[in-house]
Amino acid sequence: MLLVLGVSLGQSAVYSLLSIIEKLTRDVPLNQQTTSMNNSVTPDRSWLDLAYQLAGIAFPLVPMLLSLYLLRLTGDRAGIGFDLRRPGFDLGRGFLAAAVIGIPGLAFYFAARELGFNTNVAPANLAANWWTIPVLVGYSLMNGLLEEVVMLGFVLKRFEQMRMGPWVAIAVSAVIRGAYHLYQGFGGFVGNIVMGLVFGWMYRRWGRVMPLVVAHVILDLVSFIGYALVAPYTDWF
Protein backbone atom coordinates (compact mmCIF):
# COMPACT_ATOMS: atom_id res chain seq x y z
CA MET A 1 0.00 0.00 0.00
CA LEU A 2 2.79 2.43 0.90
CA LEU A 3 4.47 1.77 -2.44
CA VAL A 4 1.27 2.57 -4.37
CA LEU A 5 0.76 5.76 -2.36
CA GLY A 6 4.44 6.61 -2.69
CA VAL A 7 4.21 6.75 -6.47
CA SER A 8 0.82 8.47 -6.55
CA LEU A 9 -1.30 10.36 -4.05
CA GLY A 10 1.04 10.02 -1.09
CA GLN A 11 3.75 11.65 -3.16
CA SER A 12 1.27 14.36 -4.14
CA ALA A 13 0.54 14.96 -0.45
CA VAL A 14 4.23 15.61 0.27
CA TYR A 15 4.55 18.05 -2.62
CA SER A 16 1.28 19.67 -1.57
CA LEU A 17 2.66 20.23 1.92
CA LEU A 18 5.78 21.84 0.46
CA SER A 19 3.58 23.99 -1.78
CA ILE A 20 1.50 25.37 1.09
CA ILE A 21 4.67 26.09 3.09
CA GLU A 22 6.03 28.02 0.10
CA LYS A 23 2.79 30.00 -0.18
CA LEU A 24 2.64 30.77 3.53
CA THR A 25 6.20 32.09 3.55
CA ARG A 26 5.50 34.65 0.84
CA ASP A 27 4.77 38.26 1.74
CA VAL A 28 1.37 38.02 0.02
CA PRO A 29 -1.74 36.87 1.95
CA LEU A 30 -3.00 33.42 1.00
CA ASN A 31 -6.28 34.65 -0.46
CA GLN A 32 -4.41 37.05 -2.75
CA GLN A 33 -2.47 34.20 -4.34
CA THR A 34 -3.68 32.09 -7.25
CA THR A 35 -3.31 28.35 -7.59
CA SER A 36 -3.38 27.46 -11.29
CA MET A 37 -4.32 23.97 -12.43
CA ASN A 38 -4.43 22.29 -15.84
CA ASN A 39 -1.98 24.72 -17.39
CA SER A 40 -0.67 24.89 -20.92
CA VAL A 41 2.98 23.85 -21.23
CA THR A 42 3.74 25.11 -24.74
CA PRO A 43 0.82 27.37 -25.69
CA ASP A 44 2.62 28.56 -28.81
CA ARG A 45 2.85 24.99 -30.17
CA SER A 46 -0.57 23.44 -29.92
CA TRP A 47 0.43 19.96 -31.08
CA LEU A 48 3.20 19.70 -28.48
CA ASP A 49 0.97 21.11 -25.76
CA LEU A 50 -1.60 18.42 -26.56
CA ALA A 51 1.10 15.75 -26.28
CA TYR A 52 2.08 17.07 -22.84
CA GLN A 53 -1.56 17.10 -21.71
CA LEU A 54 -2.19 13.53 -22.89
CA ALA A 55 0.92 12.37 -21.05
CA GLY A 56 -0.32 14.21 -17.96
CA ILE A 57 -3.57 12.28 -18.17
CA ALA A 58 -2.12 8.86 -18.97
CA PHE A 59 0.77 8.45 -16.53
CA PRO A 60 -1.18 9.15 -13.29
CA LEU A 61 -3.50 6.26 -14.25
CA VAL A 62 -0.64 3.77 -13.89
CA PRO A 63 -0.84 3.65 -10.05
CA MET A 64 -4.60 3.13 -10.36
CA LEU A 65 -4.03 0.19 -12.70
CA LEU A 66 -1.34 -1.11 -10.34
CA SER A 67 -3.74 -1.01 -7.41
CA LEU A 68 -6.34 -2.96 -9.42
CA TYR A 69 -3.68 -5.52 -10.33
CA LEU A 70 -2.64 -5.94 -6.69
CA LEU A 71 -6.28 -6.31 -5.64
CA ARG A 72 -6.71 -8.98 -8.28
CA LEU A 73 -3.67 -10.89 -6.99
CA THR A 74 -5.25 -11.12 -3.53
CA GLY A 75 -8.73 -11.92 -4.86
CA ASP A 76 -10.19 -8.57 -3.80
CA ARG A 77 -10.65 -6.98 -7.22
CA ALA A 78 -14.34 -7.86 -7.60
CA GLY A 79 -15.19 -6.74 -4.08
CA ILE A 80 -14.68 -3.02 -4.62
CA GLY A 81 -17.46 -2.64 -7.19
CA PHE A 82 -15.36 -1.20 -9.98
CA ASP A 83 -17.31 -2.52 -12.96
CA LEU A 84 -20.18 -1.70 -15.31
CA ARG A 85 -22.72 -4.20 -13.98
CA ARG A 86 -25.03 -1.58 -12.40
CA PRO A 87 -24.88 1.52 -14.61
CA GLY A 88 -28.21 2.96 -13.50
CA PHE A 89 -27.35 2.62 -9.83
CA ASP A 90 -23.87 4.03 -10.32
CA LEU A 91 -25.03 7.04 -12.34
CA GLY A 92 -27.93 7.85 -10.03
CA ARG A 93 -25.90 7.58 -6.85
CA GLY A 94 -23.03 9.39 -8.54
CA PHE A 95 -25.14 12.44 -9.36
CA LEU A 96 -26.56 12.38 -5.83
CA ALA A 97 -23.09 12.26 -4.27
CA ALA A 98 -21.87 15.05 -6.55
CA ALA A 99 -24.76 17.28 -5.46
CA VAL A 100 -24.22 16.50 -1.77
CA ILE A 101 -20.55 17.47 -2.01
CA GLY A 102 -20.53 20.04 -4.79
CA ILE A 103 -23.18 22.55 -3.73
CA PRO A 104 -22.02 23.14 -0.14
CA GLY A 105 -18.42 22.64 -1.26
CA LEU A 106 -18.57 25.63 -3.60
CA ALA A 107 -20.01 27.82 -0.84
CA PHE A 108 -17.29 26.61 1.53
CA TYR A 109 -14.58 27.45 -1.01
CA PHE A 110 -15.79 31.05 -1.41
CA ALA A 111 -16.11 31.46 2.37
CA ALA A 112 -12.63 30.05 3.04
CA ARG A 113 -11.13 32.33 0.43
CA GLU A 114 -12.86 35.41 1.79
CA LEU A 115 -11.66 34.55 5.31
CA GLY A 116 -8.09 34.24 4.04
CA PHE A 117 -7.70 30.49 4.48
CA ASN A 118 -7.54 29.55 0.82
CA THR A 119 -5.92 30.65 -2.40
CA ASN A 120 -7.86 31.69 -5.46
CA VAL A 121 -8.11 28.43 -7.40
CA ALA A 122 -8.03 28.69 -11.21
CA PRO A 123 -8.83 25.10 -12.27
CA ALA A 124 -8.57 25.42 -16.05
CA ASN A 125 -5.82 27.42 -17.77
CA LEU A 126 -5.29 25.74 -21.12
CA ALA A 127 -4.79 27.81 -24.25
CA ALA A 128 -7.86 27.92 -26.50
CA ASN A 129 -7.67 24.96 -28.89
CA TRP A 130 -10.04 22.49 -30.49
CA TRP A 131 -8.89 19.91 -27.95
CA THR A 132 -9.25 22.06 -24.80
CA ILE A 133 -12.62 20.69 -23.66
CA PRO A 134 -11.78 17.03 -24.48
CA VAL A 135 -8.54 17.35 -22.50
CA LEU A 136 -10.41 18.81 -19.51
CA VAL A 137 -12.80 15.86 -19.75
CA GLY A 138 -9.75 13.59 -19.77
CA TYR A 139 -8.34 15.20 -16.63
CA SER A 140 -11.73 14.84 -14.93
CA LEU A 141 -11.85 11.13 -15.76
CA MET A 142 -8.26 10.62 -14.64
CA ASN A 143 -8.82 12.32 -11.28
CA GLY A 144 -11.99 10.38 -10.57
CA LEU A 145 -10.45 7.04 -11.46
CA LEU A 146 -7.15 7.59 -9.68
CA GLU A 147 -8.43 9.09 -6.45
CA GLU A 148 -11.47 6.91 -5.84
CA VAL A 149 -10.01 3.57 -6.92
CA VAL A 150 -6.83 4.16 -4.89
CA MET A 151 -8.20 5.98 -1.83
CA LEU A 152 -11.44 4.02 -1.47
CA GLY A 153 -11.12 0.72 -3.29
CA PHE A 154 -7.45 -0.04 -2.61
CA VAL A 155 -6.47 1.80 0.58
CA LEU A 156 -9.63 0.96 2.53
CA LYS A 157 -9.35 -2.70 1.53
CA ARG A 158 -5.75 -2.83 2.73
CA PHE A 159 -6.69 -1.09 5.99
CA GLU A 160 -9.45 -3.65 6.47
CA GLN A 161 -6.93 -6.45 6.02
CA MET A 162 -4.75 -4.76 8.66
CA ARG A 163 -7.71 -5.08 11.09
CA MET A 164 -8.15 -1.33 11.27
CA GLY A 165 -11.61 -0.19 12.33
CA PRO A 166 -13.78 0.97 9.42
CA TRP A 167 -14.22 4.55 10.61
CA VAL A 168 -10.58 4.90 11.57
CA ALA A 169 -9.67 3.69 8.07
CA ILE A 170 -12.08 6.15 6.46
CA ALA A 171 -10.69 8.98 8.61
CA VAL A 172 -7.07 8.19 7.71
CA SER A 173 -7.97 7.95 4.03
CA ALA A 174 -9.83 11.28 4.26
CA VAL A 175 -6.85 13.02 5.88
CA ILE A 176 -4.58 11.76 3.09
CA ARG A 177 -7.13 13.08 0.57
CA GLY A 178 -7.12 16.44 2.30
CA ALA A 179 -3.32 16.48 2.44
CA TYR A 180 -2.83 16.16 -1.30
CA HIS A 181 -5.21 19.09 -1.81
CA LEU A 182 -3.38 21.28 0.71
CA TYR A 183 -1.65 23.16 -2.10
CA GLN A 184 -4.95 25.00 -2.62
CA GLY A 185 -5.00 26.26 0.97
CA PHE A 186 -6.61 25.20 4.22
CA GLY A 187 -10.08 25.39 2.71
CA GLY A 188 -9.11 22.75 0.16
CA PHE A 189 -7.58 20.66 2.95
CA VAL A 190 -10.66 20.71 5.19
CA GLY A 191 -13.15 20.48 2.33
CA ASN A 192 -11.51 17.38 0.92
CA ILE A 193 -11.32 15.74 4.33
CA VAL A 194 -15.09 16.19 4.57
CA MET A 195 -15.45 14.82 1.03
CA GLY A 196 -13.32 11.82 2.00
CA LEU A 197 -15.45 11.11 5.07
CA VAL A 198 -18.71 11.35 3.11
CA PHE A 199 -17.41 9.30 0.20
CA GLY A 200 -16.01 6.71 2.61
CA TRP A 201 -19.39 6.38 4.31
CA MET A 202 -21.14 6.09 0.93
CA TYR A 203 -18.65 3.46 -0.21
CA ARG A 204 -19.29 1.34 2.89
CA ARG A 205 -23.04 1.75 2.54
CA TRP A 206 -23.26 1.03 -1.19
CA GLY A 207 -20.39 -1.46 -1.46
CA ARG A 208 -19.31 -0.01 -4.79
CA VAL A 209 -16.60 2.46 -5.74
CA MET A 210 -18.11 3.20 -9.15
CA PRO A 211 -20.73 5.74 -7.95
CA LEU A 212 -17.96 7.72 -6.27
CA VAL A 213 -15.87 7.66 -9.44
CA VAL A 214 -18.90 9.04 -11.28
CA ALA A 215 -19.43 11.71 -8.61
CA HIS A 216 -15.79 12.80 -8.69
CA VAL A 217 -15.79 13.02 -12.48
CA ILE A 218 -18.95 15.15 -12.40
CA LEU A 219 -17.46 17.49 -9.79
CA ASP A 220 -14.32 17.99 -11.84
CA LEU A 221 -16.22 18.42 -15.10
CA VAL A 222 -18.30 21.20 -13.56
CA SER A 223 -15.23 22.78 -11.98
CA PHE A 224 -12.88 22.59 -14.97
CA ILE A 225 -15.24 23.21 -17.87
CA GLY A 226 -17.48 25.57 -15.91
CA TYR A 227 -14.50 27.70 -14.97
CA ALA A 228 -13.16 27.72 -18.54
CA LEU A 229 -16.52 28.91 -19.85
CA VAL A 230 -17.52 31.34 -17.11
CA ALA A 231 -14.30 32.85 -15.72
CA PRO A 232 -13.68 35.24 -18.65
CA TYR A 233 -17.04 36.90 -18.00
CA THR A 234 -17.10 37.21 -14.21
CA ASP A 235 -14.86 38.18 -11.30
CA TRP A 236 -16.35 35.61 -8.90
CA PHE A 237 -13.27 33.44 -9.33
pLDDT digits (tens, 9 = 90+) for 184-203: 999 999 999 999 999 999 99
Strands (E), the chain: 34-36, 120-122
State the burial class of residue 21 (Cβ atoms within 10 Å of its Cβ: 0-12, 13-18, 19+). Answer: exposed
Look at residue 2 in the predicted model and tell me its pLDDT. 84
State the burial class of residue 190 (Cβ atoms within 10 Å of its Cβ: 0-12, 13-18, 19+). Answer: middle
Q: Tell me if 188 sits within 8 A of 219, measured CB to CB.
A: no
Mean pLDDT computed over every residue of the chain: 95
Question: pLDDT tens digit string along 171-183?
Answer: 999 999 999 999 9
Q: Note whether residue 3 is domain-resident.
A: no
- Percent of the chain scoring above 90 in pLDDT: 92
Q: Note whether residue 2 is domain-resident.
A: no
Q: Note whether residue 206 is domain-resident.
A: yes
Q: Tell me if 71 sits within 8 A of 80, measured CB to CB.
A: yes
Instruction: Evaluate if residue 234 carries a pLDDT over 90.
Output: no
Q: Note whether residue 1 is domain-resident.
A: no
Instruction: Evaluate if residue 232 carries a pLDDT over 90.
Output: no
Q: Note whether residue 156 is domain-resident.
A: yes
Instruction: Evaluate if residue 129 carries a pLDDT over 60.
Output: yes
Q: Tell me if 159 sits within 8 A of 167, measured CB to CB.
A: no
The number of distinct structural domains making up the chain is: 1
Look at residue 237 in the predicted model and tell me its pLDDT. 57
Instruction: Evaluate if residue 139 carries a pLDDT over 70.
Output: yes
Kind of pairing, strands 34-36 and 120-122? parallel
Range of the domain at 81: 11-233
Q: How confident is the model at residue 236 (pLDDT cuts 50, 70, 90)?
A: low
- Give the integer Cα–Cα distance in Å for 120 and 35: 6
Look at residue 229 in the predicted model and tell me its pLDDT. 84
Instruction: Evaluate if residue 206 carries a pLDDT over 60.
Output: yes
- Give the integer Cα–Cα distance in Å for 185 and 145: 24
Q: How confident is the model at residue 235 (pLDDT cuts 50, 70, 90)?
A: low
Question: pLDDT tens digit string along 152-161?
Answer: 999 999 999 9
Q: What angle do CA 62, 67, 73 make, to 5 degrees?
A: 125
Q: Note whether residue 5 is domain-resident.
A: no
For residue 70, the surrounding DSSP H or E stretch is: helix 61-73
Question: pLDDT tens digit string along 24-66?
Answer: 999 999 999 999 999 999 999 999 999 999 999 999 999 999 9
Mean pLDDT across the stretch 91-110?
96
